[in-house]
Amino acid sequence: MIEELHEDLKMYLDKDTDLGDFIKHPLLFWAGYDDSFIEVINSAYKAKLKEAEKERKAKKWENWLMLHERPYRLDAFMSIASELDKKNYWELLSRIWIDTEFPTVNKDIWIQLFTRKLPNKRKLMSGKERRVLARLPDKDINVFRGYSDDEHADGISWTLSYEKAEEFAKRWGSEDAKIAEGMCKKEDILAFLNGRNEEEIIIDPEKVRVLRSQGILITN
């Protein structure tokens, strides 16, 4: 008897992608799917599901979150937020933020998570990051944002470094790449994070006064 694809995976099988059939389950991504791989796919999924259930039962929250595929980690975090103690909430929020891609898509959700009125918010940043933030002037802080098209102009991720903004602007090789320069107040900054050496400022874009935004030349 031919084994069928696991019931959990069937609704996540996408047959309309440019890369062929693709499984996009929260615990398992599989590109180039065809029926000859069913046994291997089911085995991989069952092993990962078992590990996830074990980590959740043990309340090893970071391990459990990282077992999820990257696009689903924000949803996974929100599903356990009420179970986290306040220290874990901020540490894990920082962890999944650093790991995320395209945060502008869920900008409003991220702002809500970063502005929750919970104690121990200092745990969102390392001691070194907190010291950098403390040394910034109270107002008139120059921040920059590199983006590839106007749809992503008002994200919550900015940087103190023009060079880093330029890197992000050039990242996708878009002809519409731009760098915005703005000013903000320290009291409006939600976090300073430097885990990726990006001198990143997390801030509600409505709190940034944009001075100018200009296109940049993309060279090969």
**pLDDT at res. 195:** 87
> Given a cut of 90, is residue 135 above it in pLDDT?
yes
**pLDDT at res. 178:** 92
**pLDDT at res. 1:** 64
> Given a cut of 80, is residue 19 above it in pLDDT?
no
Tell me what the pLDDT averaged over the chain comes to.
92
**pLDDT at res. 149:** 78
Share above pLDDT 90 across residues of the chain, in percent, rounded to a whole number: 76
Q: What's the predicted TM-score (pTM) here?
A: 0.88
> Given a cut of 90, is residue 113 above it in pLDDT?
yes
| pLDDT (mean) for 125-137 | 97
pLDDT band at 104 (very low <50, low <70, confident <90, very high): confident
User: Would you list the domain boundaries of the chain?
Assistant: 1-58, 59-124, 136-215
DSSP-assigned states of every residue in the chain: -PPPPPHHHHTTEEEEETTEEEEEETTEEEES--GGGHHHHHHHHHHHHHHHHHHHHTT-HHHHHHTS-GGGHHHHHHHHGGGS-HHHHHHHHHHHHHH-S-GGGGHHHHHHHHT---S-GGGGS-HHHHHHHHHS-SS-EEEEEEESSGGGTT-SEEES-HHHHHHHHHTT--TT-EEEEEEE-GGGEEEEE-TTSS-EEEE-GGG-EEEEEEE-----
**pLDDT at res. 84:** 94
**pLDDT at res. 217:** 55
pLDDT band at 10 (very low <50, low <70, confident <90, very high): very high
Share above pLDDT 70 across residues of the chain, in percent, rounded to a whole number: 96
Q: Kindly report, residue by residue over 57-95, the tens digit of the pLDDT.
A: 999 999 999 999 999 999 999 999 999 998 899 999 999
| pLDDT (mean) for 46-54 | 98
**pLDDT at res. 215:** 80
> Given a cut of 70, is residue 108 above it in pLDDT?
yes
**pLDDT at res. 154:** 87
